[in-house]
Amino acid sequence: MKEFKNVYVFNHPLIKHKIAILRDKNTGMKEFRELIEEITTIMTYESMADVALQPVRIETPLEVTTQYKVPEESIAIVPILRAGLGMVNGVHKVFPTAKVGHIGMYRDEETLEPQEYYCKLPDGIEKKTVFLVDPMLATGGSACDALDALKKRGCKKIKFMAIIGAPEGVEKVATAHPDVPVYVSTLDRCLNENGYILPGLGDAGDRLFGTK
């Protein structure tokens, strides 16, 4: 895969350790869910490095000082349903007051094309930094459609985070949305004939929620 200026692949030893456990077919639902949250938290720290701050006056026990904070209403999390729900708490651990919206997408099993069936976003979403999250970036179709939906609603600052990315999906999103930073914990080998990532970890939604 060629390099893109808006793609960031993490090379953190702790993330690699957790992904190794995440991939294991014997990892149970509870541990799988906890690992998704933990990896997301680490990714959020990194991806928030350029988030805007505002000066505030703080009174310490000794004096008044100027410090800097992320404005309370400036962050929103939008998971792509359903697997993206597993990443929400990971972002909330870093920024617990972030508002949460939802975008529902499903993949047509024959065409592999994404279909939108639900979209509910916080008020003022167009003024916020939006973290669009989905554990798996496979074909890139759902991510591109979700980004299109956010942009149609006025969102101008969006960051996309996925835990596992396929080269095909990463390239599609990076090309279609060069203004959106794309963060992935690891870049896998390829997609199989059914659109699943290899080596991957199976269906993230099934493993998160114990349903098919």
Q: What is the pTM of this model?
A: 0.91
Phi, psi of 79 (to 5 degrees): -80, 145
Class of residue 160 by CB neighbours under 10 A (exposed 0-12, middle 13-18, buried 19+): buried
State how far the Cα of 19 lies from the Cα of 32, in Å rounded to an integer: 10
| pLDDT in the model for residue 112 | 66
Token reading at 95: 């920024």
Mean pLDDT computed over every residue of the chain: 92
Q: Which of 183, 179, 127 is nearest to 155 (CA)?
A: 127
CA distance 121 to 153: 9
**Which residue(s) pair with 182 in the sheet?**
7, 160
Q: Which residues are catalytic?
A: 107, 111, 203, 206
| pLDDT tens per residue across span 37-62 | 999 999 999 899 888 899 999 999 99
Write out the two tokens for 158.
């969006």
Q: Tell me the C-alpha distance between 40 and 132, whole Å.
A: 12
**Between 3.40.50.2020, 1.10.260.40, 1.10.10.10, 3.30.500.10, what CATH number should domain 7-209 receive?**
3.40.50.2020
What is the predicted pLDDT for the residue at 1? Answer: 67
